[in-house]
Amino acid sequence: MRQYVPVPQPDPCWTRSVFVAGWQSVTGELAVTSPFSGRRLAVVGMCSTREVDQALAASLAAQREWAAVRQERITVLSAAADNVSANRDELVAWLIHETGSSVAKAQLEVDLVTAELREAAELAKLNLDRPLPGGKRQSTTHRVPIGIVAVIAPFNFPAHLAIRAIAPALALGNAVVLKPHPYATISGGLWLAGMFEATGLPPGVLSVIPGDAEIGEALVADPRVGQVTFTGSTAVGQWIAEVAARRLTPTLLELGGNNALVVLQDADIELAATCGGFGSFYHQGQVCMSTGRHLVHESRIEAYVQALTNYASRLQVGDPADPKNDLGPLINARQLAQVDDLVRRSIATGSELVWGGTTSGLCYQPTVLIDSTRKSPAWQEEIFGPVAVVAPFSDDQDVVTLVNEQGPGLVASVLCADVDHGAQLGARISCGIVHVNEPTVDYQIGAPFGGWGSSGNSTIGDHTSNVANFTKSKWFTRRPTMPQR
C-alpha cells in the first residue's frame, strides 16, 4: 500500500540556532522551504563570521583530547550508526521535503549514511604506526590527525556526502566544522549535529555553521583549518583551491563531470537504455555521476533513442513524498532555469528534442535530445538536470576520442556483450572511475571515489584514501643515548 511521507516536525533546538559547542541562538536566520510545495518547513540560524571564529576556537580546544581516545571514537561512531538506523524514517522525510529526493532515493541515502558510519568505526580501529629499519635506534612513521577539517557539503546527497567526509575525519582524531548547503541545512547539517550530540560526541568536536559564500570563504581562509573537503561544482572547487592555496592548506575536492555512457554495437539495447535512463534521470539528474553524454554505435542509435524515450515516458514526475513518483523537483528556480536554458540553446543550435523539455513548478520532465554534431551546449557542459543527450560514434578509436575530448573526468560506463572488449576500451578512457555493464551512477562503500582533472584532485571512501586525506605523516626516532660523532 502506497503511503505518502508526511512533513517532519523541526527540532526546537534548530530554530534560529547553529551548532557550535552545543546549540546557540544567532541573529541571522534562514528559512527552510520545500522545493516542491514552497511550504516553509523551519527557520534555522544563519552564521556570521563571528560564529565561524567560535566554531574554530571550540574545535581547537576539543580536538587534542578527542584524538587521544580511540575507543571513545569507535564507540561514538558505532552509536551514531545505530542512531541513524533507528531514526531512519525521520531523516528520510527531511531529505524528501527539504531537497526533493524521491522516497527510494532518500531511503538509499540514509542507508549509505549508516554504512559510512560503521565503516568509519572500523577505520578508527586501525594501527597506523609503522616501524622502519633503524639500526641502533628505534625508527617509526606515525599518521597523526590533521587537526581541524572543514567540510563544505552539497545539496544533492547532503547527508551522505557530509558524513562521507565527517565520519572518517572524526574516526582519525580530527575535529570537524561543517558548512551545509543553504538548501540542505537540516538534512545535511543540523539533523546530523543533533544525532551526534545524542550519541555522546564531546562538545566542540563537530560544529555545524549554516551560511552563505562569505562564511565558506572565512572558513577556508582561516589558518586554524588544516584541510578543506568540498563537494560541488568545478567552478567553486577551483575558487576554494585558490583561497586555500594562499595558506598552503590541503584540499580534497570532489567535483562534477560531463560523464559518458558508451553503448557498443553488441549491447542489449533495452538493458542499455535502462542503464542510460537511470544514469541521466536518477534524482532529477542532480548527481555528480549522472550520465550527460550517451555515445551509441551508429548502427544502433535509432533503436537506442526509441528505448530511452520509452524509459523516460514511463517515469512519474511530481510530489517526491508520494512513493509512486520517480522524480521530484529540481532544488530551486535558478537550477531549473539553467537546465531549461541549456536545452533551449541546444535545440537552437541543431539538437533534436525527442522527448520532454517541459516544466511544471520546479519539476522538469525527463528529456531526450539527439545531437549528431556533438557541439550543443548540452553536450559540452555538465547539465545537472534530467537530460540525456545522445550522439553516434563509428568505432573504438572514435568513441575513445569523443569521451576523452573534454579532458580527464569523473566516471564513464561501457555497455556491451563482449565484456573483455568493453574492459579493454574502458582502460583507454581517462577518468577516475570506469564501469563495464553498469550505469555511471554507482557507489560502493569502501571503494575509492574521485575524479581526474577538473573533476577532482583526490579520492575518498576507502581506508587508504581516508588515512591519506585526514592524517599527516610524522617520522619519529629515538635511541637510548646520544651517538658519538
The end-to-end CA distance of the chain, in Å, is 83
User: Under DSSP, is residue 295 helix (H, G, I), strand (E, B) or coil?
Assistant: strand
The secondary structure of residue 8, as a DSSP letter, is P
Cell numbers 543527450 correspond to what residue? 389
Q: What is the DSSP string of 135-191?
A: TTSEEEEEEEE-SEEEEE--SSSHHHHHHHHHHHHHHTT-EEEEE--TT-TIIIIIH
Residue 26 cell numbers, joined: 544567532
Q: For residues 234 and 374, what is the distance between their CA atoms, to the nearest angstrom? A: 22
- Angle made by CA atoms 412, 416, 417, in degrees to the nearest 5: 155
Tell me the β-bridge partners of 295: 262, 391
How, if at all, do strands 359-360 and 367-370 pair? unpaired
Residues that are catalytic: 254, 288
- H or E segment to which residue 99 belongs: helix 88-99
Burial of 75 (0-12, 13-18, 19+ CB in 10 A): middle
Q: For residues 435 and 253, what is the distance between their CA atoms, to the nearest angstrom? A: 22
